[in-house]
Amino acid sequence: MLLVRLAVAACVLLVVTACGARSAATDDVSLSLRTASPTAAAERSDYRSSEEQAGTPLGNGVTLMVSAPRSFTPTDTAYPRAARAVVFDMVIENGGNTVYRPAQLSFVAMVDGAEAEQVIDSTQGYTGVVGAIDEVLPNQELRFAVAFGVPVEPSLVQVEVRPDTVRTDAIPIYDGTT
């Protein structure tokens, strides 16, 4: 009986310790995401916001700027698997008076008329809007990258964004061949 109580106590201690360690690790990751500048993918990009680029207004003073697409080969850890993908570097500029949450964004891509899946390849820094959990404070900006699976051969790609869960209309942000 004593052995059973000791085993149960050890299990409880292990669970409590593991949850505390996970919580601390999650807090560290959360802090690094909140304080991080651009993703590794956006840092590699030649795309930089400029006064010449008007961007796409999302409402309430928030603007989305989108780079030209770049083709890349997803790693084996990418999901979903794709032979080729295109990535768009995004910059959200908050010129409004309220905090903007990029988790409200949703992207839809059509490739040759069929819906394309968003590719998450965190090994290469392509975490999509899911990786952009930061809040964008007024007069601040946030950079992240969104990738979509495409066929190996050149294809017609159209990308639209919905700025929040309330608006049902999509705003076109790219239409071209990749």
pLDDT at 164: 77
Closest CA relative to residue 89, chosen from 48, 144, 50? 144
- Say whether both 105 and 50 belong to one domain: yes
Write the CA distances from 82 to 79, 93, 121, integer angstroms. Answer: 8, 31, 10
How many domains, in total, are found in the chain? 2
Residue 48 identity: R
What is the span of the domain harbouring residue 3?
1-35
Is the N-terminal amide bond of 172 cis, ω within 30° of 0? Answer: no
pLDDT tens, residue by residue, 2-19: 444 434 344 333 333 333
- Say whether both 8 and 91 belong to one domain: no
- Phi/psi region, residue 139 (left: phi>0; alpha: psi -120 to 50; beta: rest), is left
Stretches where the chain sits below pLDDT 70 are 1-54, 130-133, 167
Q: What percent of the chain has pLDDT over 90?
A: 47
- Say whether both 97 and 124 belong to one domain: yes
- Say whether both 76 and 138 belong to one domain: yes
